[in-house]
Every structure is written in C-alpha cells, then in structure tokens.
Amino acid sequence: MADPASGLLTGKRIALLTASASRAGGGVFESLATHARLLEGLGATPIVLAAADRFSALDRERFGSVSVHSLPVWGGARFACAPGLSQALRDAQTDLVHLHGVWQFPSLVAARWARETGKPCLISPHGMLEPWILARGRWKKALARHAFEQANWRTARLFHALCPAEARSIRQATGRGECTVIANPAPPVDAGQIRQRGPRIVYLGRLHPKKNLPALLAAWAALDAVRPPQAELIVAGWGEDAHVAQLAATIESTPGARFAGPVFGADKQHLLREAAFLVLPSFSEGLPMAMLESWAAGTPTLMSRHCNLDDGFACGAAIDCGTDQATIAAALHRALCLSPAQWLAMAHAARALAAGPYSAATIARQWEIAYHRLIEEPAERTGHG
C-alpha cells in the first residue's frame, strides 16, 4: 500500500461536489469536511462546491484553508438547485469530481461535467441508496431517476461505498459493479487517560425518522423503575422544524431525558467525553461519523447493525441495541449495569478502533490509491469489484 506521503496526488485538483457544505447536510457534511482535510494532507488541492444555505458562512471554518464555493440557490432549498455550480466547476479546472450524495441538483452538474471533459467522476451516495431510504418518497425518486440520476450513474467512473453492505445496495440500485469500499476516518483520538463516567447516555446527530428516536425514548421510559436514579438520556441534534418540535415535546415529557438542541465544536466534544455511551438505534445508515467520533473520545456505543460497524461488536466497543423498543431497552439496561472494569474495557476497545483500522492515516492510504488509479489509468481499467 502506498505511503500517504508518496506524492501520488501532489498537484492534483479534486472537486468535492455536494448539496450542502454546512451542518444542514448532516453526516454528509461531517464526512465532507474531514475528507477535504484528508486530501489536503495527501498533497492534493481540494475544491469544495456546494449550494448555499443558511449555515454556509457559519460552518465555513470547518474546512480550514480548503477553498469552498457556496453558490446561490434558486427556488426551494431541498433540491439544492444552484445554477452557478456548473460554471464554478468548469472554472475550477479539476482532474476529478467526487460527488457526495445523490438525488439532488449536483448530480446533474457532475454528469454534465463528466460528459464534457471525459474526466473521471466518483460518486459517494452516503447511504442514500439504502433500501430504507429508497422506500421513502418513491415517486419523487422515480422521477429523479428518470430525469437525471440514471444518466449520472451511467456517467460515473466509480462508486464509493462506506461498507460492504452499502456496496451491495449500490450495485442493486444502479446496476453498476464498479464500487470501492473505504470507511469514513475517525477524528484524532483523545489521548488522555480514560476515566469512569456517570450513567449518561447520549444521542448526537440529525433528528430524522430513520434514526428511530421514538423507539429509543419509549425504551428509556420503560426502564424508569430500574434505572439508576442519576441516569440521564440526552438527545442533541437538529432537523426539520416540525419534526424537531414534536420530538422535543416527547423528550421533555420522558422522565430522565433532556433535549440539548444542536451541539457542535467544543460543546460536542465535551458531551462525548462526558457520556458513558453514545446511542444510535437507526433503521438505515451508510457509516455514521458520530460513532467514529464517539470511539475517538473513548466512548463506547449502543447501536443497531444498520450502522455497518460490526467491528465494534467484534472488538467489544459496542452493544447491539437493535431497532425495536424491547431490544433497545435491553441494551440500555445492560449498559447501565456494567461494572467499572467492564465499561473501561469497552472504552479502551473503542479508542483502539479509532486509532487503528479507522484512523485517518489508514483511510488516507486507501483514498490515495483509489484517486490515483482514477486519474492516471484508462477508464476501462479503473473499476473495483
């Protein structure tokens, strides 16, 4: 495997095209910001191109010295229709376009650029081709598939999956076999001594139906009589106003639960370092950044297998909580009953995963090779099985 300092990508200009380069993009944004800095560390010149939204200016600092262009949106923000993206991409004079996410206007931009230039386009769906997601808004996705997305998939040189399960979903949805599997990298690990923490369970991320939070809250309420008196469930996140308002009301009426609202930056890190566990009983994920951030903080996790991080179960860094109320309640109860020594063993296992197979250095080596092959080799030889 190549050394990230080998210079394979030195001087290469790589466009990272997406619908949102801010917190409005949820986990895709977190992954994008990390990926841009990873490319910079490999000697490449990443250029982020996105549709503007209300958080674009606020979150610009997350990209450091990376060039970021957020273009004005026409019409509704949901489709991310920013006509200026096409010209901005042409002006960027890049060697490759990496599209993050599908079903929105940037798909049109990526496909048009690839046809015009003959240069490679790589697509990372970020879980947006998973069966649970495809089952929602079927008619809208059918229209988008017919209008532009199918053409975009045909134009792409390579697809990127975060895990083998997502690779299978991509192949089934697109009919394309060219797919490489590379996980998201964890942030740098918290190198301090791991200390025992109170019985605090935290959810952190986008507030969306696929995250299955009503079942989590019902499971927490069902444990009211057997939970330690100081046990606390904190829900921190953001989402569409109507959904957030409904969920916040349920949280506030659930004993021992608290809604913290959106949490970012230093506040997020503090929350992770103080939590005994991070919980995610999701119905569908690509590979959630929140789990990797948690492991880097030495915080074990309660998660469903839809998080596609089975290494966590195998290494003792995570407990399978499933997706229904009974299995979530059982996992919560097990977590709250762990001895200090058992919890510390899980915390050390979590940090070891973040420092090893999911470290930035490990993931960077894989990306360096994938990008180099796409840019330098003929199209018919760059497919990955």
Hey, what long-range contacts does 58-66 have (CB within 8 A, 24 or more apart)?
58/22, 58/23, 59/21, 59/22, 59/23, 59/29, 60/21, 62/29, 62/33, 63/21, 63/33, 63/36, 63/37, 64/37, 64/40, 65/40, 66/36, 66/37, 66/40
Q: What's the whole-number mean pLDDT along residues 180-209?
A: 93
Q: For residues 44 and 13, give the distance between their C-alpha atoms in angstroms, rounded to a whole number.
A: 6
pLDDT for residue 157: 95
pLDDT tier for residue 384 given thresholds of 50, 70 and 90: very low
State the burial class of residue 336 (Cβ atoms within 10 Å of its Cβ: 0-12, 13-18, 19+): middle
> Which residues touch 236 (CB under 8 Å, ≥6 apart)?
202, 203, 204, 259, 260, 261, 262, 263, 268, 271
Adjacency order of strands within the sheet including 45-51? 67-71, 45-51, 13-20, 96-100, 121-124, 158-161, 179-181
pLDDT for residue 385: 38
Using a pLDDT cut of 90, give the percent of the chain over it: 83
Strands (E), 262-352: 277-280, 301-303, 318-320
pLDDT tier for residue 2 given thresholds of 50, 70 and 90: very low
Average pLDDT, the chain: 92
Which of 132-136, 207-211, 212-216 is predicted most confidently?
Answer: 212-216
State the burial class of residue 179 (Cβ atoms within 10 Å of its Cβ: 0-12, 13-18, 19+): buried
Between 122-126, 212-216, 286-290, 349-353, the lowest mean confidence (pLDDT) is in: 286-290
pLDDT tier for residue 80 given thresholds of 50, 70 and 90: confident
pLDDT for residue 94: 97
pLDDT at 378 over 80: no
pLDDT for residue 1: 38
Q: Please name the fold of domain 200-355.
A: Rossmann fold (3.40.50)
252 sits in the region (left: phi over 0; alpha: psi -120 to 50; else beta) called alpha
Altogether, the residues listed in the chain come to a count of 385
> Which residues touch 143 (CB under 8 Å, ≥6 apart)?
none
pLDDT for residue 374: 94
Where exactly does CATH 3.40.50.2000 map onto the chain? 4-185+359-381, 200-355
Q: What's the whole-number mean pLDDT along residues 279-289?
A: 92
| Superfamily of 4-185+359-381 according to CATH | Glycogen Phosphorylase B; (3.40.50.2000)
Q: What's the whole-number mean pLDDT along residues 4-16?
A: 86
pLDDT at 41 over 80: yes
Q: What's the whole-number mean pLDDT along residues 312-323?
A: 98
Other Cβ atoms closer than 10 A to 381? 8
Q: What's the whole-number mean pLDDT along residues 167-189?
A: 93
Q: Rounded to whole angstroms, what are the CA distances from 129 to 136, 165, 239, 336?
A: 11, 11, 20, 35
Q: What's the whole-number mean pLDDT along residues 193-220?
A: 95
Q: For residues 122 and 114, give the distance between their C-alpha atoms in angstroms, rounded to a whole number.
A: 10
Give pTM, 2 decimals. Answer: 0.83
pLDDT at 5 over 70: no
Helices assigned H by DSSP within 161-240:
164-174, 213-222
pLDDT for residue 333: 98
pLDDT at 317 over 90: yes
Residue whose token pair is 């895709």: 28
pLDDT at 106 over 90: yes
Q: For residues 34 and 55, give the distance between their C-alpha atoms in angstroms, rounded to a whole number.
A: 18
* Residue type (1 letter), 62: R
Q: For residues 264 and 94, give the distance between their C-alpha atoms in angstroms, rounded to a whole number.
A: 31
Strands (E), 139-273: 158-161, 179-181, 200-206, 232-238, 257-261
Q: In 3D, which of 191, 185, 201 has the Cα closest to residue 298?
A: 191
pLDDT at 216 over 80: yes
Other Cβ atoms closer than 10 A to 229? 6
Q: What's the whole-number mean pLDDT along residues 39-59?
A: 94
pLDDT for residue 377: 78
pLDDT tier for residue 191 given thresholds of 50, 70 and 90: confident
Per 3-state DSSP, what percentage of the chain is helix, strand, and coil (rounded to 5)? 45, 15, 35
